[in-house]
């Protein structure tokens, strides 16, 4: 998922009978499947949780461009370069849809950027891993975008209208991302033994971080329970992780690859795979800023923002001058 461990600021989930009339009416609308729109009354916790989740999601789309952008100039053919460029451009677009959705909740774009650049707002742990070979670009599309889709499809039904609509647009475009990644890998596994080994190496490095994208088990989390009551989260992290594994293992088999998990085994009773536990210490380290590429990613974001100040200011000055001139001409 692109948003991991979003906190909800509530000690526990309230029952309808414990709520005041406004909150109760709000919860009943959500229970009835109605969408909440900007400027309508909402509990402060709902607003804050959504801002956190949507901004984390938007930040992930934006930071997610960096590991892939690294390979635009190194893509093996002109066609692959054009495809990767289009994919990275989509990620920028997805970030923008989501920032706009967050802004309808009363937070400004500059505040959202400031929170990302200062480290106050998070982005997905997955983008703090390096892209060492071309096979990594295939693995990201297949696994990372695959895991993202798993999470984003239910978010299309989110109770907050602008977020739900942004997710519908995003999901329409996301399938291209996963398929282009798998396509890269299908080509490579039919190549030389060295190329095939490169694909296996990419899977070995990306498998566990991809499973961590769903976040730690949240069966007992009050934050998740509240987010589910508000319908800004629909499935538990474990449910989605299980679905992802069940979907991905046959795809790995088709490529002739081995999933790097000795505990992976088909379980006939549950109709799904049993699999090992990701290294959650690693996950918490990466979230805390100590992953392999955290400093590099945030550094690149800050530099792009700071280096662009003169340009943004120049365009603002130009726009002001033009509008002053046309106002003067109208007099």
- For other proteins, the binding residues (CB under 8 A) are 37, 39-41, 86, 89-90, 93, 96-97, 100, 103, 108-110, 165-166, 169, 173, 309, 312-313, 315-316, 318-319, 322-323
* Secondary structure (3-state) at 283: helix
Task: Please tell me the distance from the alpha carbon of residue 268 to that of residue 254, in angstroms, as a whole number.
Answer: 21
Query: Residue 179 or residue 223: which is nearer to other proteins going by CB?
Result: 179
Query: Residue 58 or residue 185: which is nearer to other proteins going by CB?
Result: 58
CB of 93 to other proteins, least distance (A): 5
Task: Please tell me the distance from the alpha carbon of residue 138 to that of residue 144, in angstroms, as a whole number.
Answer: 10
CB of 52 to other proteins, least distance (A): 20
Query: Residue 31 or residue 40: which is nearer to other proteins going by CB?
Result: 40
CB of 262 to other proteins, least distance (A): 43
Contact indicator for 145, 65 with CB cutoff of 8 Å: no
DSSP assignment letter at 74: G
DSSP assignment letter at 314: H
CB of 312 to other proteins, least distance (A): 6
From start to end of 250-304, where are the E strands? Answer: 265-267, 272-274
CA 138 to chain centre: 17
Contact indicator for 32, 159 with CB cutoff of 8 Å: no
**Which residues contact residue 25 at a Cβ distance below 8 angstroms, ignoring those fewer than 6 apart?**
none
Query: Residue 110 or residue 331: which is nearer to other proteins going by CB?
Result: 110
CB of 178 to other proteins, least distance (A): 16
CA 19 to chain centre: 33
* Secondary structure (3-state) at 16: helix
Query: Residue 47 or residue 169: which is nearer to other proteins going by CB?
Result: 169
For residue 168 the two structure tokens come to 């519908």
Query: Residue 281 or residue 326: which is nearer to other proteins going by CB?
Result: 326
CB of 146 to other proteins, least distance (A): 21
């Amino acid at each position: 998922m692109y948003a991991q461990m979003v906190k909800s600021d509530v000690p526990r989930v309230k029952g309808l009978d414990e709520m005041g009339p406004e909150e109760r009416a709000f919860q009943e609308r959500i229970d009835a499947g109605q969408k909440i729109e900007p400027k309508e009354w909402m509990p402060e916790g709902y607003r804050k949780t959504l801002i956190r989740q949507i901004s984390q999601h938007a930040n992930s789309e934006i930071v997610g461009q960096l590991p892939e952008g690294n390979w635009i100039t190194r893509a093996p053919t002109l066609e692959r370069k054009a495809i990767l460029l289009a994919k990275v451009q989509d990620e920028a677009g997805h970030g923008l849809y989501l920032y706009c959705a967050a802004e309808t909740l009363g937070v400004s774009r500059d505040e959202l950027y400031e929170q990302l650049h200062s480290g106050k707002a998070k982005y997905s742990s997955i983008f703090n891993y390096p892209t060492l070979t071309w096979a990594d670009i295939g693995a990201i599309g297949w696994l990372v975008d695959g895991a993202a889709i798993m999470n984003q499809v239910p978010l299309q039904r989110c109770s907050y209208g602008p977020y739900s609509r942004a997710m519908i647009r995003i999901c329409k475009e996301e399938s291209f991302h996963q398929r282009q990644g798998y396509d890269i890998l299908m080509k490579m596994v039919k190549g030389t033994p060295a190329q095939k080994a490169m694909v296996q190496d990419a899977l070995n490095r990306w498998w566990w971080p991809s499973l961590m994208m769903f976040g730690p088990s949240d069966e007992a989390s009050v934050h998740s329970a509240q987010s589910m009551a508000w319908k800004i989260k629909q499935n538990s992290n474990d449910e989605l992780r299980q679905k992802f594994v069940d979907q991905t293992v046959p795809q790995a088999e088709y490529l002739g690859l081995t999933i790097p998990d000795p505990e992976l085994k088909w379980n006939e009773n549950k109709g799904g795979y049993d699999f090992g536990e990701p290294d959650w210490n690693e996950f918490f380290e990466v979230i805390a800023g100590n992953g392999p590429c955290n400093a590099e990613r945030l550094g690149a974001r800050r530099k792009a923002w700071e280096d662009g100040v003169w340009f943004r200011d120049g365009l603002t000055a130009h726009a002001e001058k033009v509008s002053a001139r046309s106002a003067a001409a109208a007099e």
